[in-house]
Structure formats: structure tokens, C-alpha cells
């Protein structure tokens, strides 16, 4: 049953439901636009206090929040899994563990990364000047995340913002509101000051109200279309925005690649979180000489995947998060079929198997296994649900895909793996870059130097060699996209610097003499300025030395007045 259709909600609330069953999990009251504005105002009040706290105090509280998460790891994983549909193991491995790692790293490193820094200013230094950069927090950071990583993305961005001295207002996705509320509780239990982290709940309108409330920074994760709307709305207040948007990430498998590793990685990269990852493998380009061998392996491994509710520890692929999303996947698969591509496995929405034909009903409900038979609709018949209302989509491999097919150009965000062949390295690079997106990419080869060379020619924010997908989980590294995949960065030093404003402090220790560029101007001044352009501005000490007599003449002239 589609999430939005699960139950009747009152006008002022959203219902969160489990995509595996359609069952209601809980309700959250929608924050009104006025309340959103008030939340931002309160956040700004607290900011004036929070920005004066020491890094040691911020570190203590973030480390305390880690402990709260560790104490509650199982119920948190259960909640993430229930709201988003992902297997509980993925909730732990791909959300909780990476964000815990990010938290310990940023808690320990932020002070060093934001330490005041002296800057070399070349020949100005010889004139008794010096420059330092100090970093100031921005104020209120508004975090508007997508639903696919409802815990780790907003929580990680909140922690980085807080360590930089900002306060935070989060608007979780309407599909995962309870996980958002849980994030608020974690900060509260850790002892953060009241209102340092606030959660406002609702759908897109609540996000729009948050943008309009003029926070000092917006960290947005979501689609290109919404990102554009947010950037437009933010521009009215000159609020700067980090946009983490969609992807159509290519995986390039060269002829010399370890095919077993590449096949395992392709299956994980395309089907984990039911393919609902911004960095999912959405296009696989394989050298024509190994295409058949790789495809055979991929299909075999896909057959072994068990589909079902995220509560089952054996399940690898859960339901998709929403009816809207599964419809996009269906449309793309239909488009592939119509364009002549072949689907050796998967290709349709299915019911979770509660009873296999001729078998006893399995009590828990919602179990699916590719391995025991062909991936056809017949294997998944269930007396209990209508397939059109199921949010389960079979992991789907598509061969014979080409870049001119429409679904190779739009983000699918579902469990599909289209495979394309190439003949030369240049062709592979051109195919990979033939997209509006540029989030991540991967190159698979035993020749690391060649992999590096290719990686640098791919237009994407992160490119892995013999790895993929998981680098968002390495908090020390910058995350963000080229082209329409985003603007700005989260994570790493680059991400931290998005959350502060640098201030340049410039000092002149020699005030006895006037500056040669001061007024009044004169023919001597003009001659000196010509010397600045021709000699001083070369950065060469030797050339500048020849300017000294003219400089001295000018300073004497100014000193006499």
C-alpha cells in the first residue's frame, strides 16, 4: 500500500507508515509556517550563546550524542527500517555506523580545521604587514534532507554545523518524519541547549516556509527540480545554499577488471537501499570482450537476493519508499523494453511472498527469494495483497541499453541495473560523461595508474577505483556533485568551510611612514604606481628592489604634507 494512501490523516498531521506493509507507524503534527518562522527566530537567539561555547564543550556534547545513539542503536535501526523500508542491517551499516564515525571525527578535528590561520602575503610582508584568517559561524543552518538516508544525512550535517558554532533547524521528509523527531530527541538527551537543534515537520510547504524564514545557510539534499526551487527562493534573501542533488552514476568495467569483484559490487551498488541512493550504480559500461561473462555473474548473483521486509535479517532488498518512486521505476523499465533492451531478470513490481503455491502460509509474511526460481510474477502470488499496491520491485538487470534510451538520461532511483558495452577507453569516458549529472562514478581495473587516468577525466564529484557508492560514509572527504548533481560540498574540510564565514584580519606594524598609495596624488605618485604595476606586482624581490628609490621619493613627498 502506498504510504500516502495508508490512512486518513487530519489536516494538521502527517502519517508515517511502513512501506513493507502499509501499516501506520505513527503521526506527527505539521509545523505551521508561523511556527517555522518562530523556530528560526529561537534558533537565532540560541546561536548568540552557542557560538561562544568552546570547541571542548561542543565536542563533549557531540560525543554524548554518539553514546545516546549507541545506547538506542537497535530501536533507531528498527525505526529507520520501518519508515524507509531498507533492511535493518543497511540502517546500521549505511546510516548509523557512518554517522557515528563522522561524529567522532568532526568532534575531534573541527577545532584544528577552524584554527586561525596565517596567510603568506608575499612582498606586503616586507612592508610590515601580516594577514590571518579566522572563521566565524554563520548563524542558523536549515537542513532539508531527502527520505532515502533519513538519519545519517541530516544528523551528520547537523553535527558539522553545530561543531562550527551554528544552530540548526531540520525539516525531515514527510516520508520519514519520525526519524526526524528521533534526531531531535538524540540532541536533547545528549544535553544540547534547548532550541540548538529543532525539528519542524511537514511536507514541501514546510520546507518552503523554512527557506522563506531566511536562515543563514541552507543544506539541501534532494532532486534537481526542488533544488532549483530552493535556490530561487533562497536568492530572495541572499541565503547561500549547498545543494546535494541527484545522480546517474556510471560504473566503468575495463577488460582487465576482476570480474567477480565487479559483479558483486554492481549488484550491491545497484540494489542496496532498493536502488534509492544518489550514488547508486545507474549505468554500467563494460568492455565488450567481458560483457557476457560479467552479465552472467551479475544475473546469477541477483537471483540469490532475497526481497522482503527490512525486519528479516536475511533480506537484502526491501520495498521502495513510495508509490511515486516505484512508478518512476516502472516507467523506466517499460521505456527500456520499448526501446529494445532485454531484461534477463526482474522487471516488475511484485508482492512480498506470504505463500508460495502449494506451500503452507509463512506466518511472518513478506518473504521473497530470487534463488529458488525464475524471477517471474508467478513466484510471488499472494492471496493477501493486490500487486498494484505493493511497493516491492524486483531487482532488475537490463542488457543492450544505450545512452539514447530515455531512462539512461533520467535518474531512476530504483533497483535497476542497465548494462551497456564499449569498445575503447575514450568511448567509455565519453559515455560516462554524457549526462547532466556528475555525482559519483567508478572505474574497475587491475591497472591502478590507468584507473587514475580515467578517473580524472570523469566529470563527477567523487570517482572511485575498484570501489563505489560508500564514500559518503567517509566523513573526512568532500561530498558533492559536478554539473546538475549539486553545488558546494558537505563533509570534509570543504564541507566544514561551507558552514563558516572566513574573516581576514590584516595588521600593519609599521605606522610611522605613510602608505605610498595614500592621498594626495601627484606626478610622483603616478610614477610610483606605474612602478607598483611593473615591478612590485611581479612578486619578484629583485625587481621590487629597483623600485625603492621611487618609493622613498613618494613617501618623503607624503611625509612633508
Residues serving a catalytic function are 244, 278
Distance CA 235, CA 237 (A): 5
Among 47, 147, 393, 482, binds ligand NDP (CB under 6 A): 147
What is the SS3 assignment for 1?
coil
Contacts (CB under 6 A) with ligand NDP, residues 434-463: 439
Among 98, 184, 215, 222, binds ligand NDP (CB under 6 A): 222
Residue 482 touching ligand NDP (CB under 6 A): no
Residue 146 touching ligand NDP (CB under 6 A): yes
Nearest approach, Cβ of residue 352 and ligand NDP (Å): 23
With contacts defined by CB under 6 A, name the span among 83-91, 223-231, 263-271, 331-339 that binds ligand NDP: 223-231
Among 223, 311, 457, 501, binds ligand NDP (CB under 6 A): 223
Size of residue set near ligand NDP by CB under 6 A: 31
Among 139, 154, 247, 488, binds ligand NDP (CB under 6 A): 247
Distance CA 70, CA 319 (A): 26
Reading the block at residue 34, the C-alpha cell is 508561523
With contacts defined by CB under 6 A, name the span among 41-49, 147-155, 422-430, 512-520 that binds ligand NDP: 147-155
What is the SS3 assignment for 407?
helix
167-170 β-sheet, strand order: 197-199, 167-170, 140-144, 217-221, 240-244, 486-487
Cβ-based neighbours of 103, under 8 Å, separated by 6 or more:
62, 63, 65, 66, 156, 159
Cβ-based neighbours of 40, under 8 Å, separated by 6 or more:
140, 142, 169, 210, 213, 214, 215
Between 114 and 159, CB nearer to ligand NDP: 159
With contacts defined by CB under 6 A, name the span among 83-91, 92-100, 203-211, 393-401 that binds ligand NDP: 203-211
Contacts (CB under 6 A) with ligand NDP, residues 112-141: none
First to last CA, the chain: 85
Distance CA 143, CA 211 (A): 10
Distance CA 350, CA 355 (A): 13
What is the DSSP code string of 33-78? HHHHHHHHHHHHHHHHHHTTS-HHHHHHHHHHHHHHHHHTHHHHHH
Rg, C-alpha atoms of the chain: 28
Residue 328 touching ligand NDP (CB under 6 A): no
Reading the block at residue 316, the C-alpha cell is 537484502
Distance CA 463, CA 209 (A): 36
Distance CA 429, CA 422 (A): 10
What is the SS3 assignment for 487?
strand
Residue 245 touching ligand NDP (CB under 6 A): yes
Residue 208 touching ligand NDP (CB under 6 A): yes
Among 203, 261, 474, 551, binds ligand NDP (CB under 6 A): 203
- Residue matched to cell numbers 527500456: 336
Under 8 Å between Cβ of 44 and 140: yes
Nearest approach, Cβ of residue 175 and ligand NDP (Å): 6
Residue 246 touching ligand NDP (CB under 6 A): yes
Residue 492 touching ligand NDP (CB under 6 A): no
Among 207, 352, 415, 438, binds ligand NDP (CB under 6 A): 207
Among 148, 302, 396, 471, binds ligand NDP (CB under 6 A): 148
Residue 216 touching ligand NDP (CB under 6 A): no
Reading the block at residue 529, the C-alpha cell is 604606481
For ligand NDP, the nearest residue by Cβ is 207
What is the SS3 assignment for 476?
coil
Mark 159-198 with x for binding to ligand NDP (rule: CB under 6 A) and - for no binding: ------------x-xxx-----------------------
Between 261 and 328, CB nearer to ligand NDP: 328
Among 43, 84, 166, 226, binds ligand NDP (CB under 6 A): 226
Virtual torsion, Cα 220, 224, 227, 232, nearest 10 deg:
160
Reading the block at residue 274, the C-alpha cell is 532498493
Distance CA 254, CA 236 (A): 47
Residue 221 touching ligand NDP (CB under 6 A): yes
With contacts defined by CB under 6 A, name the span among 54-62, 221-229, 297-305, 546-554 that binds ligand NDP: 221-229
Contacts (CB under 6 A) with ligand NDP, residues 362-421: 411, 413
Chain Cα centroid distance, residue 325: 18
Between 351 and 458, CB nearer to ligand NDP: 458
Nearest approach, Cβ of residue 380 and ligand NDP (Å): 26
Residue 211 touching ligand NDP (CB under 6 A): yes
With contacts defined by CB under 6 A, name the span among 97-105, 202-210, 336-344, 377-385 that binds ligand NDP: 202-210
Q: Which residues bind ligand NDP (CB under 6 A)?
A: 144-149, 171, 173-175, 203-204, 207-208, 211, 221-223, 226, 229-230, 244-247, 278, 411, 413, 439, 481, 486
Amino acid at each position: 500500500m502506498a504510504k500516502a494512501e495508508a490512512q486518513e490523516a487530519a489536516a494538521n498531521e502527517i502519517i508515517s507508515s511502513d512501506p513493507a506493509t502499509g501499516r501506520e507507524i505513527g503521526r506527527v503534527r505539521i509545523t505551521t509556517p508561523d511556527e517555522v518562522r518562530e523556530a528560526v527566530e529561537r534558533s537565532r537567539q540560541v546561536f548568540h550563546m552557542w557560538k561562544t561555547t568552546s570547541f571542548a564543550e561542543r565536542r563533549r556534547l557531540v560525543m554524548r550524542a554518539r553514546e545516546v545513539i549507541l545506547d538506542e542503536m537497535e530501536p533507531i535501526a528498527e525505526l529507520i527500517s520501518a519508515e524507509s523500508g531498507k533492511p535493518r542491517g543497511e540502517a546500521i551499516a549505511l546510516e548509523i555506523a557512518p554517522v557515528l564515525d563522522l561524529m567522532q571525527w568532526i568532534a575531534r578535528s573541527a577545532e584544528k580545521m577552524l584554527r586561525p590561520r596565517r596567510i603568506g602575503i608575499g612582498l606586503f610582508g616586507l612592508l610590515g604587514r601580516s594577514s590571518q584568517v579566522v572563521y566565524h559561524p554563520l548563524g542558523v543552518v536549515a537542513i532539508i534532507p531527502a527520505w532515502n538516508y533519513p538519519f545519517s544525512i541530516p544528523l551528520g550535517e547537523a553535527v558539522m554545523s553545530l561543531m562550527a558554532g551554528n544552530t540548526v533547524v531540520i525539516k525531515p521528509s514527510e516520508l520519514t518524519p519520525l526519524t526526524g523527531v528521533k534526531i531531535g530527541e538524540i540532541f536533547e538527551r545528549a544535553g544540547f541547549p534547548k532550541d540548538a537543534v529543532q525539528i519542524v515537520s511537514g511536507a514541501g510547504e514546510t520546507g518552503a516556509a523554512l527557506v522563506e524564514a531566511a536562515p543563514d545557510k541552507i543544506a539541501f539534499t534532494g532532486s534537481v527540480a526542488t533544488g532549483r526551487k530552493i535556490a530561487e527562493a533562497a536568492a530572495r534573501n541572499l541565503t547561500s545554499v549547498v545543494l546535494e542533488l541527484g545522480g546517474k552514476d556510471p560504473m566503468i568495467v575495463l577488460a582487465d577488471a576482476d570480474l567477480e569483484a565487479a559483479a558483486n559490487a554492481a549488484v550491491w551498488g545497484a540494489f542496496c537501499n532498493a536502488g534509492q541512493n544518489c550514488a547508486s550504480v545507474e549505468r554500467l559500461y563494460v568492455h565488450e570482450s567481458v560483457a557476457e561473462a560479467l552479465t552472467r555473474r551479475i544475473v546469477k548473483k541477483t537471483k540469490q537476493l532475497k526481497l522482503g521486509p527490512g525486519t528479516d535479517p536475511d533480506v537484502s532488498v526491501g520495498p521502495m519508499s513510495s508509490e511515486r518512486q516505484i512508478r518512476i521505476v516502472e516507467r523506466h523499465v517499460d521505456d527500456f523494453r520499448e526501446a529494445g533492451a532485454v531484461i534477463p531478470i526482474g522487471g516488475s513490481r511484485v508482492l512480498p511472498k506470504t505463500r508460495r503455491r502449494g506451500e503452507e502460509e509463512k506466518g511472518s509474511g513478506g518473504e521473497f527469494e530470487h534463488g529458488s526460481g525464475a524471477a517471474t510474477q508467478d513466484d510471488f502470488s499472494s492471496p493477501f495483497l493486490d500487486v498494484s499496491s505493493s511497493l516491492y520491485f524486483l531487482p532488475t538487470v537490463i542488457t543492450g541499453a544505450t545512452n539514447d534510451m530515455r531512462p539512461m538520461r533520467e535518474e531512476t532511483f530504483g533497483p535497476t541495473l542497465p548494462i551497456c558495452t564499449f569498445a575503447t577507453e575514450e568511448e567509455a569516458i565519453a559515455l560516462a560523461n554524457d549526462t547532466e549529472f556528475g555525482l559519483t562514478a567508478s572505474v574497475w581495473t587491475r591497472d591502478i595508474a590507468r584507473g587514475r587516468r580515467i578517473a580524472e577525466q570523469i566529470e563527477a564529484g567523487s570517482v572511485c577505483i575498484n570501489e563505489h557508492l560508500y564514500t559518503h560514509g567517509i566523513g573526512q572527504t568532500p561530498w558533492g556533485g559536478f554539473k546538475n548533481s549539486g553545488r558546494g560540498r558537505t563533509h570534509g574540510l570543504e564541507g566544514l568551510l561551507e558552514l563558516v564565514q572566513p574573516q581576514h584580519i590584516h595588521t600593519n606594524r609599521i605606522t610611522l611612514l605613510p602608505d605610498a598609495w595614500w592621498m594626495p596624488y601627484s606626478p610622483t605618485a603616478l610614477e610610483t604606481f606605474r612602478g607598483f604595476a611593473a615591478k612590485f606586482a611581479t612578486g619578484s624581490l629583485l625587481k621590487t628592489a629597483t623600485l625603492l628609490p621611487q618609493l622613498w621619493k613618494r613617501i618623503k613627498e607624503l611625509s612633508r604634507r
